Amino acid sequence: MSTRSTDVVIVGAGFAGCATAWALAERGIRAIVLEREAMLGVHASGRGAGLGRVLAEDDETSQLTIRGAQLLRERFAAHWRPTGGYLTFDAPAEAYVERAHRLDVVCERVEPAVVKRHWPRVDVAIANALWIPHDGVIDLAGLLNAFAREVELGTTVQRIEPSERGARIETSHGSIEARCVVDAAGAWAGWATKDPPLEAYKRHLFVIEMAASIDAPYLWHLGATEVYVRPHPEGVLACPCDADLVPAMFHQPSIDADHRLGARLPGGFGITKRWACQRTFAPDRKMRIGRDPSRRWLVWAAALGGHGATASAAVGERAAQAVMEVLDERA
């Protein structure tokens, strides 16, 4: 097979990879996106709950989710449903209130009874509750397709090595020479470059028989019995926020999956669908976005930790900026 040459290759067509391709296209830069599967979002990006939650667990992640949500509302409104959301707590909520104030996120303290009016059958002990009016729900498949640019499906990356041009990418369909490589391979990020693996955690999702208006705010309860619910066209989508360390691509629901949901969401709700998704983390639990410190041709866009949909456009912006720096250096 002949060797192709290009400026930028992106490995992985999930939210990180597709959003980086979109952000580069906005800057007039063409990128080839390589995806091993026959369709987008098979393993992680297409299997989540699609909650557009901007207040995350720390300031750094929240800055990305805030910017990402802003871009989705402004540039991809067709794939964003502005429902608002409730964050509830079984303990004080001061850390989240202070984070909202620092980062200019509009939020309001509300009484638990306000939340219960929307979700009367969700039996969680609410000590404090916040209303975040600018949160929403994301159409995952629609957003992925809106981001996607020049995706070569069914192409497996076998290894990536330095070359005179920058890097040589060996694939199931031949070799590519590129000035810059973006590793956006999700749970596989680092595999082709022989870096230490990331950690993939399985989490279960369910569609349950519960009545809710399709435009009702989501409810995410944080604490010892973490659980979230949001409206779904066939009932309510619910998640017990469990976490099992698993190999990449392992989506088989656990034998006790239904029990896990029942322990967090009592009430004996009928389950009409169940599946598992994956969230990928670096050891320090920080998103890995930007240039590699030693391989100047390599940019990371990985370890999004379950915030990939909301933060996607901002992740793409940041990764694209790093790519521009590589291209400028190697001009």
Q: Is the pLDDT of residue 330 over 80?
A: no
pTM: 0.96
Kindly list the domain boundaries of the chain, sorted by start residue: 1-81+136-197+283-331, 85-133+199-281
Q: What is the pLDDT of residues 179-219, one digit of tens each?
A: 999 999 999 999 999 999 999 999 999 999 999 988 899 99
Please give the pLDDT value at position 1: 62
CB 33 within 8 A of CB 320: no
Residue-by-residue DSSP string for 81-148: E---EEEEESS--HHHHHHHHHTT---EEE-HHHHHHH-TT-----SEEEEETT-EEE-HHHHHHHH-
Q: Which CATH superfamily is domain 1-81+136-197+283-331 in?
A: FAD/NAD(P)-binding domain (3.50.50.60)
Q: What is the pLDDT of residues 52-102, one digit of tens each?
A: 999 999 999 999 999 999 999 999 999 999 999 999 999 999 999 999 999
Distances in whole angstroms, Cα of residue 10 to Cα of each of 36, 111, 148, 150, 152: 12, 46, 11, 10, 10
Q: Rounded to 5, what percent of the chain is helix, strand, coil?
A: 25, 30, 40
The pair of structure tokens assigned to 67 is 């910017």
Within a 10 A sphere around the Cβ of 133, how many other Cβ atoms?
14
Q: What is the pLDDT of residues 124-156, one digit of tens each?
A: 999 999 999 999 999 999 999 999 999 999 999
Instruction: Provide the pLDDT confidence category of residue 22 given band limits of 50, 70 and 90.
Output: very high
Three-state DSSP at 329 gives helix
Which numeric CATH code is attached to 85-133+199-281?
A: 3.30.9.10
Return d(Cα 238, Cα 236) in angstroms, integer: 6
As beta bridge partners, residue 281 has: 199
Return d(Cα 214, Cα 74) in angstroms, integer: 22
Return d(Cα 253, Cα 213) in angstroms, integer: 28
Q: Is the pLDDT of residue 6 over 80?
A: yes
Average pLDDT over residues 153-168: 96
**Percent of the chain residues past pLDDT 70, beyond the cut:** 99
Q: What is the pLDDT of residues 243-292, one digit of tens each?
A: 999 998 888 999 999 999 999 999 899 999 999 999 999 999 999 999 99
